[in-house]
Amino acid sequence: MAIENRIRRLRFDAGEMTQKDLADRVGVTRQTILAIENGKYAPTLDLAFRIARAFGVPLDQVFTFQGD
Amino acid sequence: MSYGEREAMTGLITSLIVVALFLWHLSGQHGDGVFDGPEALQVWARMVLLLVAWSIGIAIVVSIGFHILYGMLTGEKPDDRRDERDRDIERRALTWAWYLLSFGLLGVIIDLAMGATAFRAMNLVLALCAGSEIFNDGVKLWLYRRGA
């Protein structure tokens, strides 16, 4: 997948926030957070912004595009 | 296990039970010669309506049973949320199942054109509907399992 993310790192920096905590904050299931973290699922723009807001950082600090 | 995954699992179990029951009932009726008369299609249609009623009842029982069993085995409170990934998986599985159904129907039409009876065609259509439903739930489960 061309989109990489730093969610695991950001969770760690946010006091070892669990996947469940993040999922509850952004309104999705824990399995969806797991799939995004593992690069198996690309979130919609809406969810991507909600994840970034949950960490209090800009979007490009959570997701980066690695394609051409 | 997410709500969507549990739903796909219960859907698959329900479909398999209903198909097995229907085939068992159908073979019994066929053995009794019920489909040999001129009203074979009407008898068949009544059986299909019975199948629909069974499906609803079995779906409720399987869903409740699975919910209770899941809670007992895992000890976790089920998350009944449905999010964008669930909808994405549902859409992908439905697309594949739709292709199966479309090409299958084309096959049935070709079969009819080559001289198959209406009774055979109706059975094939029913089998296709059941098959595509099972396929739909199977694809959903596969996508959930591989973490899509």
CA distance B148 to chain A (A): 5
Interface test with A, best of B82, B83, B140 (most A CBs within 10 A): B83
Greater pLDDT, B139 or B36: B139
B2 interaction partners in chain A (CB closer than 8 Å): 29-32
| Sequence-ordered list of residues with C-beta below 8 angstroms from that of B35, at least 6 positions apart, any chain | B29, B43, B44, B119
Residue with tokens 């001129």: B38
Max mean pLDDT among A29-33, B41-45, B74-78, B92-96 falls in: B92-96
At residue A68, does pLDDT exceed 70?
no
Q: Which pLDDT tens digit goes with each residue over B97-114?
A: 999 999 999 999 999 999
Q: Is B133 on the interface with A (CB under 8 A)?
A: no
State the complex-level ipTM. 0.85
At residue B1, does pLDDT exceed 90?
no
Mean pLDDT value across chain B:
89
Q: Is B83 on the interface with A (CB under 8 A)?
A: yes
User: What pLDDT is recorded for position B148?
Assistant: 65
CB A1 within 8 A of CB B53: no
Q: Which pLDDT tens digit goes with each residue over A25-63?
A: 999 999 999 999 999 999 999 999 999 999 999 999 999
Per-residue b or e along B96-113, where b marks 16 or more CB atoms closer than 10 Å to that residue's CB: bbeeebeebbeebeeeee
Greater pLDDT, A57 or B35: A57
Flag if B81 and A44 touch (Cβ within 8 Å). Answer: no
Q: Sign of torsion, CA B55 B15 B98 B101?
A: negative
Beta strands in B26-130 (DSSP E): none
